[in-house]
Amino acid sequence: MELTGFTIISNVGMAKSLVMEALYAAKKGEYELAELKLKESQSFFLISHKTHSALIQREANGEKLPFSLLFMHAEDQLMSAETTFELVKEMIDMYKRMEKMEKGSVNS
């Protein structure tokens, strides 16, 4: 159970770091790099999500899983990463729209 918790936490940590790198790249107008970072982030997030889902399936099949604060922390980090990912995607879209608007003002 501890290994499972650490697997989720470490992969989610990488996912969140990459999401933030994507945001910083977009802020600089480096949208291709931002998209690559988002895609890379998603691969780490999927590992965490699949690990978490496997545990839920085990419990749903009647297996008694031990309660663990570490696992609760892992779940919290997983949900936080998912929210961060979605917010950053929206922020990158906003940066793109703002850049288009600024360029439109300059060209007018």
| Catalytic residue annotation | 73
DSSP structural state of residue 28: T
3-state secondary structure 6-32: HHHHHHHHHHHHHHHHHHHHHHCCCHH
Q: How far apart are CA 98 and CA 4, in angstroms?
A: 42
Encoded amino acid at 29, one letter: G
Q: Which residues of 30-47 are buried (b: 16+ CB within 10 A; e: fewer)?
A: ebeebeebbebbeebbeb
Count the Cβ atoms, other than its own, within 10 Å of residue 23: 19
